[in-house]
Amino acid sequence: MKTQLVIAATLLYALLLGVIHYLHVSFVPINVVFYAAIGDAAIASIAAGTVLFFHSSFRPLGGLEKWQLLVIWLLAGYGFAISVPTVIDRSLSFYILEKLQQRGGGIKQDKFEEVFIREYLPEHRLMEVRLTEQLQSGTIAIENGCVRLTEKGNRVASFGRFYRQNFLPKKRLLMGTYTDALTDPFRHSENIPDYQCK
């Protein structure tokens, strides 16, 4: 009996999440896809939790079981937000598959850099999207045409650099060779001062 109630409540949560997310992305202005999806998951959890706690059908479930379900839904919603809309919105891997499909199923390997620069960047308005996300997150500020790190942005960048250098794979497969190149992508970066803000 309790198992059926848990399944029914979770199906209700999933249905609410799907409907709320669809309505949100269809009719409401969204600043950042990830934050919007997290909000949808929270709203669906609150709505399903209200039914769970106050509808007589779910009375056989104990208080602890109900709270555990609520936590599970919040975690599942977070997993959905980061794994579905956010990944599809920003994933170069998905773009490559979609671009291959668009181009009839195949593109010459030596043309991928050109595809990335000439098609991916403008088609996905990549710079505008990423700058908007960082502005909304408070990690950058744009002043007089200069994009500058905020204190928060500096902390996030330092954490990312620390994690990259210490916890990303030291032997990662890249096109048939194992390398640590992505633990320090700036290792061979040229210092080009002409685009730095004065």
Length of the chain: 198
- pTM assigned to the model: 0.79
Q: Where are the domains of the chain?
A: 2-89, 102-137, 139-189
State the pLDDT at residue 188.
80
Whole-angstrom Cα distance, residue 78 to residue 23? 18
Residue among 67, 79, 66, 80 at smallest CA distance from 24 = 80
Whole-angstrom Cα distance, residue 196 to residue 198? 6
Task: For the chain, list residues with pLDDT below 70.
Answer: 193
State the pLDDT at residue 190.
78
State the pLDDT at residue 90.
86
Q: What is the CA radius of gyration of the chain?
A: 22
